C-alpha cells in the first residue's frame, strides 16, 4: 500500500491525482448509498474491520460523519471521548492508550488538542508489531486534513460546470490564526492551478506566517485584508469561520472581546456577492452567518457537511483497498438500481 493512503496525517501528503481519485470514489459511494442494493453491497465490503474513534476534543460533525462513514462500509466502531473514563486517569500515557487500541481495532481515527499528536502516534505504531492506520480528525490548531478533503470535494462538485476549481478566487474569513480548517485547506489548494486566496481577518486573528511561506514556496498568489466588504463581489468562494476563543484558556490570551461583527455575512451584504459565489463554513457557526441565509442557493455549508460523510467513507475505502470493488459494484448495478 502506498504511504499516501496508509495513514492520513497532514494534507502535504496528498497530490492532485489523489484528490481527483478520492472525489470520484466519494461520488460512487454517494450514488450506491441511494439504493438498498448498493448500500447493502457497500456495507459488506469492510464488515470484517473495526474502527476506534478516539476523540478527546469536542466534536459533533467529524465524529458522527466518521461513524456514519464506517457504517456505510459495514465497519464496527467504538469510541473513547473522555479520558476520565480510560486508564489515562491511572497514569497511563496517551501513547500507550493508543497502542492498546491498535491491539483491538484495525484503524484509529483521532482528534487531539496537540498539533502533530496523530503523527507521533503513527510513528509509535509504525514501530510496533501492529501498525494500524491512523487518521487525523483534527490536531490542535494546526491541521484538519479530512476537513480539507471534504472542502475540496465540495469545491469540485460546486464548480464542475464552471471550469473546475483551477483559477478560482477564495476568501477565508474570521479566526484564521487558530482555524485548522483554513490552514489545511489553504495548503491543499496549492495542488490546483492559479487559485487566488484572500485572508480576511482583524490583525490579531490573521493567518500564520508558516502558511504564507508555504504558499510562497508553491508560487500561490494571495492577499491579506481587514476589509471584508472589499472582497465580497470579487471572489467565487467565501469560507467563513467562527472565533476560536476556547484556545484562550491554554494560550493565556483574551480574544473573547474581539468583535467579528464586521466579518459576518448578512442578508444585506450577500447582495454584493456574484450569483455563482458559494458560501462555505466548516461549522459550528456562531453569528458569522445569519440563519436567514440558510436557504439561499449559494449557502453551501449544509451540503458541505454531508459531503464529509462520503469523502471519509472514500478515504476508509482507499485505506483498506476496496476502491476497485466499489467501482465494480457500481458498474454491475449500473443505472438499474432503484434509488429510494
Ligand atoms: C472545525 C474544527 O473542529 O476545527 N469543525 C469541524 O471539524 N467541522 C471548526 C471549528 O471548530 O470551528
> Quick one: 251 and 130 in the same domain?
no
Same domain, 290 and 219: yes
Give the CA distances from residue 213 to residues 9, 138, 141, 188, 249, in Å, rounded to whole numbers and listed in that order.
20, 22, 17, 14, 28
Q: How far apart are the first and last CA of the chain?
A: 36
Per-residue pLDDT reduced to its tens digit, 182-227? 999 999 999 999 999 999 999 999 999 999 999 999 999 999 999 9
Shared domain for 137 and 149, answered yes or no, is no
Q: Check whether residue 197 and residue 120 sit in a common domain.
A: no
State the cell numbers at 69. 462513514
Q: What's the confidence (pLDDT) of residue 1?
A: 44
Strands 107-112 and 76-80: unpaired
Q: Are 314 and 25 in contact (CB under 8 A)?
A: yes
How would residue 255 be classed by pLDDT, with cut points 50, 70 and 90?
A: confident
Q: For the domain that residue 214 is a member of, what is the CATH number?
A: 3.40.50.1370
Ligand 1: nearest atom to the Cα of 175: 12
Residue 314 domain-assigned (yes or no): yes
Q: How far is the CA of 121 from the centre of ligand 1 (A)?
A: 21
Between the CA of 257 and the centroid of ligand 1 the distance, in Å, is 21
Q: Of all protein residues, whose CA lies closest to atom 11 belonging to ligand 1?
A: 284
Q: Do 209 and 330 belong together in one domain?
A: no
Any residues with Cβ below 6 Å from ligand 1, and which? 61-62, 138, 144, 147, 180-181, 242, 282-283
Average pLDDT rounded to a whole number, residues 300-316 = 98
Q: Which atom of ligand 1 approaches the CA of 308 most closely? A: 8
The number of the ligand 1 atom at minimal distance from the alpha carbon of 244 is: 12
Regarding whether 250 and 125 lie in a shared domain, the answer is: no
In a 10 Å sphere around its CB, with 0-12 CB exposed, 13-18 middle and 19+ buried, how is residue 310 labelled?
buried
pLDDT above 50 for 12: yes
Residue 335 has pLDDT above 80, yes or no: no
pTM: 0.96
Helix (H) or strand (E) holding 301: helix 301-319
**Model confidence at 338, in pLDDT bands (50, 70, 90)?**
low
Examine the domain organization and report whether 200 and 166 are in the same domain: yes
What is the pLDDT averaged over residues 247-268?
88
Indicate which atom in ligand 1 lies nearest the CA of residue 241: 12
Give the 3-state secondary structure of residue 197.
Answer: strand
Question: Within a domain: residue 340?
Answer: no
d(CA 54, CA 51): 9
Based on the domain organization, do 278 and 152 belong to the same domain? yes
Per the listing, cell 438499474 goes with: 336
Distance 266 CA to ligand 1 centre (A): 21
107 is a domain residue: yes
> Domain check: are 158 and 277 in the same one?
yes
156 and 283 part of one domain? yes
Half-sphere exposure of 267 (CA within 13 A, CB side): 5
Asked if the structure places residue 212 within a domain, the reply is: yes
Q: Which of 63, 69, 144, 240 to mutate to test the pocket of ligand 1 (most atoms within 8 A of CB)?
A: 144
How remote is the CA of residue 284 from the centroid of ligand 1, in Å? 6
Cβ-in-10-Å burial (0-12, 13-18, 19+) of 104 comes to exposed
Q: Count how many domains the chain has.
A: 2
* Other Cβ atoms within 10 Å of 138 Cβ, number: 26
Q: Write out the residue range of the structural domain in which residue 57 sits.
A: 11-141+309-335
pLDDT in tens, 31-43: 999 999 999 999 9
Q: How far apart are CA 34 and CA 160, in angstroms?
A: 21
Q: What is the pLDDT of residues 123-181, one digit of tens each?
A: 999 999 999 999 999 999 999 999 999 999 999 999 999 999 999 999 999 999 999 99
Q: What is the average per-residue pLDDT within 58-75?
A: 97
321 — pLDDT class (breaks 50, 70, 90): very high
Average pLDDT in the chain: 94
CA of 252 from ligand 1 middle (Å) equals: 21
pLDDT digits (tens, 9 = 90+) for 78-129: 999 988 877 877 888 888 988 999 999 999 999 999 998 999 999 999 999 9
Query: What confidence category does residue 293 fall into, taking pLDDT thresholds of 50, 70 and 90?
Result: very high
Write out pLDDT tens, residues 20-30. 999 999 999 99
User: Which residue owns the Cα nearest ligand 1 atom 1?
Assistant: 282
Does any domain span residue 68?
yes
Over residues 303-318, mean pLDDT: 98
Q: Are residues 124 and 156 in the same domain?
A: no
**Enzyme catalytic residues:** 61-62, 90, 111, 144
pLDDT of residue 89: 79
Tell me: do 48 and 187 sit in the same domain. Answer: no
Return the C-alpha cell found at 176: 484564521
Count the neighbouring beta carbons within 10 Å of the beta carbon of residue 181. 23
Pair type for strands 222-225 and 237-240: unpaired
Does residue 2 fall inside a structural domain? no
List the residue whose alpha carbon is closest to atom 8 of ligand 1.
Answer: 282
Amino acid at each position: 500500500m502506498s504511504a499516501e493512503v496508509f495513514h492520513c496525517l497532514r494534507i502535504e501528503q496528498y497530490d492532485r491525482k489523489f484528490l481527483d481519485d478520492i472525489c470520484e470514489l466519494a461520488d460512487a459511494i454517494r450514488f450506491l448509498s441511494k439504493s438498498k442494493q448498493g448500500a447493502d453491497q457497500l456495507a459488506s465490503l469492510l464488515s470484517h474491520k473495526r474502527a476506534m474513534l478516539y476523540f478527546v476534543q469536542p466534536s459533533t460533525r467529524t465524529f458522527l460523519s466518521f461513524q456514519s462513514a464506517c457504517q456505510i462500509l459495514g465497519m464496527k466502531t467504538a469510541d473513547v471521548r473522555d479520558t476520565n473514563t480510560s486508564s489515562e486517569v491511572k497514569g497511563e500515557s496517551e501513547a500507550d492508550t493508543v497502542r492498546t487500541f491498535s491491539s483491538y481495532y484495525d484503524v484509529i481515527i483521532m482528534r487531539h488538542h496537540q498539533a502533530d499528536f496523530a503523527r507521533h502516534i503513527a510513528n509509535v505504531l509504525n514501530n510496533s508489531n501492529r501498525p494500524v492506520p491512523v487518521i487525523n480528525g483534527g490536531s490542535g490548531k494546526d491541521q484538519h486534513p479530512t476537513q480539507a478533503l471534504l472542502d475540496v470535494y465540495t469545491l469540485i462538485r460546486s464548480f464542475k460546470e464552471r471550469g473546475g476549481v483551477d483559477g478560482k478566487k477564495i476568501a477565508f474569513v474570521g479566526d484564521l490564526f487558530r482555524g485548522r480548517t483554513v490552514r489545511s485547506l489553504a495548503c491543499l489548494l496549492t495542488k490546483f492551478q492559479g487559485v487566488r486566496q484572500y485572508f480576511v481577518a482583524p490583525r490579531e486573528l490573521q493567518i500564520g506566517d508558516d502558511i504564507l511561506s508555504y504558499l510562497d514556496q508553491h508560487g500561490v498568489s494571495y492577499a491579506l485584508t481587514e476589509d471584508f466588504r472589499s472582497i465580497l463581489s470579487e471572489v467565487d468562494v467565501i469560507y467563513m469561520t467562527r472565533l476560536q476563543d476556547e484556545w484562550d484558556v491554554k494560550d493565556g490570551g483574551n480574544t473573547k472581546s474581539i468583535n467579528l461583527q464586521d466579518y459576518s455575512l448578512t442578508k444585506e451584504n450577500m447582495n454584493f456577492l456574484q450569483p455563482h459565489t458559494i458560501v462555505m463554513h466548516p461549522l459550528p457557526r456562531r453569528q458569522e452567518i445569519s440563519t436567514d441565509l440558510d436557504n439561499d442557493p449559494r449557502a453551501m455549508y449544509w451540503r458541505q457537511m454531508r459531503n464529509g460523510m462520503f469523502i471519509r467513507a472514500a478515504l476508509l475505502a482507499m485505506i483498506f483497498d476496496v476502491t476497485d470493488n466499489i467501482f465494480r459494484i457500481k458498474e454491475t448495478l449500473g443505472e438499474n438500481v432503484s434509488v429510494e
